[in-house]
Structure 1
Amino acid sequence: MQPLTEDEIRTSLMNSTAEEERTVALPVDYLLTDWERIDFLGWRDPKAPRRGYIVTEVDGEPVGVVLRAAETSMPHNRSAYCSLCHTLQPADQVSLFTARRVGEAGERGDSVGQYICSDLSCPENVRLGAPLAPLEVPAVGHTDARISGLAERTRRFLSSVREG
């Protein structure tokens, strides 16, 4: 992903209100972002804990959405699957996030939802290697496939927000 300025991030949020765009709190480690190692910039708003953001590139341009996390979480003694990074985790580490659709559909209250890692750490999760069993040989290209799958699923999710 190409480095983004604060203004580019704010204006990329296609489903934001003027107030949301103006008050976006960037992640505390924004200036330390390793842009070459992420497929999207995702973070929770420290000022509004149920609010989150995802910004990625689509056709070389930044595109982002404002997310709202569900008020309740799933029980920790179960497992849940992130629909973006396809990581199986304790259920309390996956949240239902909704995004208001763009345009008239969003004005009517239409939204789309996905179960996503609660901390929006999907770009790191797909790069983590699974522990190998003794004598197991790592699969060639497995991490690359996980990374490209995350990028594609993220673009599809953002597209579904736009297609209201």
Structure 2
Amino acid sequence: MTTDTRIRRALANCSKGEAARLALPPDVRDLDLDVLDDVVGFRDAKAPDRAVLLVPGADEPVAILLRAASNAVGATAMCALCRTTHSAGGTTLFTAARRGSRGRDGNTVGTYVCADLGCRHHVCVEKATAALRPAPGMTVDERRAGLRERAAAFVGEVVR
């Protein structure tokens, strides 16, 4: 089964039609999902307000479809997943419809996430910059583990 197919099947909170319409970026298509140990996020190039969060699972990755708020946070803000602090515009509210009938009824879960969904890259930054400040006093491995834990908890809220 191709990576595209596996990612589309992993989407837990959308219809097959919505999953089929997603435009997957080339770097995501090249992922080896059998050894995925990072949280991967990306925006749909055809619909930038639509995004996907892909989280390693016990057997298979789990993915959720996200919707971005129309405006990024206009002040310095921290991503709830990777705990990286961004300058103005670097964080956006993303919402995800809950799975099943609750989602179809409009029930959603939301959190503030890196606007570029680049959490997996941001946790690897060694030194703070003017625009990007990773959680201080932690190793890259600790930040990566924390990202996986918080992303899995967020996905768990969506799919329960």
TM-score range, shorter chain: 0.7 to 0.9
Between 7-16 and 17-26, the greater mean CA deviation after superposition: 17-26
Stretches (4+) displaced over 6 A: 34-37
Q: What RMSD over aligned residues (CA atoms) do the two structures have, in Å?
A: 2.1
Cα separation, 1, equivalents of 2:54 and 2:29: 15
- Structure showing greater radius of gyration is 1
Contact 2:4 2:29 in 1 (8 A): no
Contact 2:13 2:97 in 1 (8 A): yes
Query: For residues 74-113 of structure 1, what are the structure 2 equivalents within 5 Å?
Result: 74-75=73-74, 78-113=75-110
Query: For residues 40-55 of structure 1, what are the structure 2 equivalents within 5 Å?
Result: 40-55=39-54
Q: Unaligned 5+ residue runs, structure 1?
A: 132-138
* Deviation of the 1:16 alpha carbon: 1.1
1:70 aligns to 2:69 (yes or no): yes
- When normalised by structure 2's length, the TM-score is 0.86
CA deviation vs aligned residue, 1:61-84 (integer Å, no higher than 9, x gap): 110000000012222xx2000000
Q: Percent identity?
A: 37
Query: For residues 77-156 of structure 1, what are the structure 2 equivalents within 5 Å?
Result: 78-130=75-127, 142-156=139-153
Cα separation, 2, equivalents of 1:161 and 1:16: 11
Contact 2:3 2:32 in 1 (8 A): no
Q: Unaligned 5+ residue runs, structure 2?
A: 129-136
* Deviation of the 1:124 alpha carbon: 0.5
Contact 1:38 1:124 in 2 (8 A): no
Cα separation, 1, equivalents of 2:32 and 2:5: 18
Check 1:63–1:34 CA distance in 2 against 1; reply closer, same or farther (3 A cut): closer
1:29 is matched with which residue? 27
Query: How many residues end up aligned between the 2 structures?
Result: 151
* Deviation of the 1:37 alpha carbon: 8.1
- When normalised by structure 1's length, the TM-score is 0.84
